[in-house]
């Protein structure tokens, strides 16, 4: 079963989060914090949580746009929705977003009693990278994170396992930026970066314009193995 919970922010106020895996709550098992794309906590994110719940996790996806507009739930199917998504992305405070994720992570730990990982996509991939650098998360996975070339100074503070999935033809991450990120994490004992040759941004978004089942299956399989290894 799935439900919505309310999380108290570190600086006051509160925001909602979708939770899947009621059957796994309170059993001392692992949890996964799912970090949204720029489309809010939509059907794609909820289905990711539901799938993780079937794998034995408690999965929680917080509403990170609540400071601008609570309850954003849009798709990638129309220009109007893309325009809204980019407007929300442009107005998003990354540092406050990380703090909100830390609050969500603490709430998830209380629900599980076990280790907790995080997985994020697009904007969420950027935030998963930052959670690996700034929080006590036990393991993090970043799918095609954006804006990471401006955050390479954060690499030195990563002390927990981080798995990165990067598309070589990502229209939102120029080749120069890809190279900078790749060089920044090269040889890092806690970071593993996989490149998906010929794939564009959001290759793992089911139903998306650039969805590639083979690449998505490979990335999702690597993610499942990674979490099983580090959250057990």
Catalytic annotation, residues: 170, 201
Helix (H), strand (E) at residue 64:
none
Burial class (CB in 10 A: 0-12, 13-18, 19+), 91: exposed
List the structure tokens of 162. Answer: 């981080």
Here the contacts of 123-127 (C-beta below 8 Å, separation 24 or greater) are 123/35, 123/36, 123/37, 123/38, 123/64, 123/89, 123/92, 124/34, 124/35, 124/36, 124/37, 125/35, 125/164, 125/165, 126/94, 126/151, 127/35, 127/64, 127/94, 127/97, 127/98, 127/101
Nearest CA to 66 out of 44, 33, 99, 43 is that of 99
List the structure tokens of 175. Answer: 């080749």
Is the separation of the CB atoms in 58 and 21 below 8 Å?
yes
């Amino acid at each position: 079963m799935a439900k919505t919970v309310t999380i108290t922010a570190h600086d006051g106020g509160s925001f909602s989060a979708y939770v899947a895996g009621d059957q796994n709550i309170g059993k001392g098992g692992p949890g996964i914090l799912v970090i949204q794309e720029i489309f809010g906590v939509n059907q794609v994110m909820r289905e990711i949580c539901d799938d993780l719940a079937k794998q034995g996790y408690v999965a929680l996806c917080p509403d990170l746009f609540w400071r601008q507009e609570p309850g954003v739930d849009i798709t990638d199917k129309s220009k109007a929705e893309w325009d809204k998504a980019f407007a929300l992305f442009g107005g998003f405070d990354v540092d406050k977003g990380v703090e909100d994720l830390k609050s969500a992570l603490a709430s998830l730990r209380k629900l599980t009693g076990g280790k907790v990982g995080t997985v994020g996509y697009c904007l969420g991939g950027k935030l998963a990278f930052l959670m690996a650098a700034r929080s006590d998360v036990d393991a993090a996975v970043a799918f095609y994170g954006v804006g990471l070339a401006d955050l390479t100074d954060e690499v030195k503070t990563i002390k927990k396992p981080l798995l990165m999935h990067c598309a070589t033809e990502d229209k939102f991450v120029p080749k120069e930026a890809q190279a900078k990120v790749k060089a920044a994490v090269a040889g890092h004992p806690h970071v593993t970066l996989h490149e998906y040759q010929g794939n564009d941004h959001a290759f793992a978004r089911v139903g998306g314009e650039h969805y590639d089942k083979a690449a998505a299956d490979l990335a999702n399989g690597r993610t499942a193995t990674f979490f099983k290894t580090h959250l057990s």
